[in-house]
Amino acid sequence: MTEKNSAGILGTGFCVPEKKLTNFDLEKMVNTSDDWIVERTGIHERRIVSRDIATSHLAFKAAQMALEDANIQPEELDLIIVATITPDRVVPSVACVLQDRLGARNAAAFDLTAACSGFIYASSVAAQFIETGVYKKVLVIGAEALSKFVDWQDRNTCVIFADGAGAAVYGQVEKGYGMLSFELGADGSGSEYINIPAGGSLNPASEETVKERMHYLHMNGKEVYRFSVKVMGETILRSLKKADMEKEDIDWLVPHQANIRIIKTGAKRLRLPMNKVIVNIDKYGNTSAASIPIALAEAAHNKKFKKGDILAFSGFGAGLTWASCILKWAREE
């Protein structure tokens, strides 16, 4: 039996819009306050795209940074996967738009929809292609322009969600490094807890759906919080077991930036001090599929990780979906 390759991260990148929307700005728009938002979410500000910027624009800049960091040319890419729930259009995929814009003429391309778990889902797909030797270089991007789908009259969602993109180039790394295990999960019985009711084949766009505000993101915050607190730690424990590791082996936790209370609860369950948890929700809010790769890339470029560090990723969100992976950092910083 042929020994499989080891698939790891060769380079990272991220992009967030220039425009900052603070809690004090939101106080002027909806019935909320800075204290209320910070206490319940940990968010102080978030980044919002301008009217003429789409998800693909953010993905492109993050991709450029990741390719440069990995010292990889676009022509070397075999595959591009974009994890997003806010594509530029229903068709074509953001990945195909990006493939052309990057000049990655040799790459296959597709989008993947798993909401806030999307980057880990896409990374697990990339790892399989590399481990089996089918592909050598795969670009994975989590990118969102959630502000285009947020109801700015709904304080339960507009204070949380934001825009951005994070990217990672996956390729073959030293044996024993890279992705060691992953776990993917879903519970479709909770599909109504986070959804955009209209715009698909169930409720095509019409004058009525627009009037009923059905093209905006709807969320049952109480149920989502209950689900997230439970699943964040559990999925990491299952990934650790697959990697034949213990909680004590984790050097860094890179969680989905959904809510600081959820992050702290997960860290406590894993017995990790908060100085070993990558947190940037205070600056960027919840960027769904982009949140983990943004946190990862920002930390990597700030030289947080050293070769051999064990990183645990955890994502959870609409679907309902969840995912985690254990990765041994392979780069010499």
Same domain, 124 and 48: yes
Has 215 been annotated as catalytic? no
Q: Are 13 and 63 contacting, i.e. CB atoms less than 8 angstroms apart? A: yes
The catalytically annotated residue of 96, 158, 286, 325 is 286
Same domain, 154 and 200: no
Is the pLDDT at 2 greater than 70, yes or no? no
Percentage of the chain exceeding pLDDT 90: 94
The catalytically annotated residue of 15, 158, 256, 259 is 256
The domain of 248 spans: 180-328
Same domain, 105 and 191: no
**302 in any annotated domain:** yes
Same domain, 226 and 240: yes
**Residue 148 to residues 86, 145, 237, 275, 301, Cα–Cα distance (Å):** 8, 6, 35, 34, 29
Same domain, 25 and 169: yes
**Digit-coded pLDDT (tens) for 57-85:** 999 999 999 999 999 999 999 999 999 99
Same domain, 203 and 267: yes
Domain at 297, CATH number: 3.40.47.10
Distance CA 15, CA 151 (A): 23
Has 256 been annotated as catalytic? yes
**191 in any annotated domain:** yes
Q: Are 316 and 256 contacting, i.e. CB atoms less than 8 angstroms apart? A: yes
Mean pLDDT score of the chain: 95
**1 in any annotated domain:** no
> Which of 176, 197, 226 is the last residue in one of the domains?
176
**26 in any annotated domain:** yes
SS3 of residue 167 by DSSP: strand
**24 in any annotated domain:** yes
The catalytically annotated residue of 96, 116, 158, 325 is 116
The helix (run of H) or strand (run of E) holding residue 143 is strand 137-145
> Which of 132, 154, 176 is the last residue in one of the domains?
176
Structure tokens of 61? 């800049």
Is the pLDDT at 1 greater than 70, yes or no? no
**Digit-coded pLDDT (tens) for 111-135:** 999 999 999 999 999 999 999 999 9
**258 in any annotated domain:** yes
Is the pLDDT at 242 greater than 70, yes or no? yes
Same domain, 225 and 324: yes
Single pTM value for the model: 0.95
> Which of 150, 176, 202 is the last residue in one of the domains?
176
Same domain, 97 and 232: no
Pick the closest to residue 130 from 179, 93, 167, 97 (CA basis).
179
Has 301 been annotated as catalytic? no
Q: Are 144 and 292 contacting, i.e. CB atoms less than 8 angstroms apart? A: no
Distance CA 234, CA 56 (A): 33
Same domain, 171 and 187: no
Same domain, 158 and 244: no
**282 in any annotated domain:** yes
Same domain, 169 and 190: no
**78 in any annotated domain:** yes
Number of structural domains (the chain) is 2
**Digit-coded pLDDT (tens) for 204-224:** 999 999 999 999 999 998 899
Same domain, 59 and 110: yes
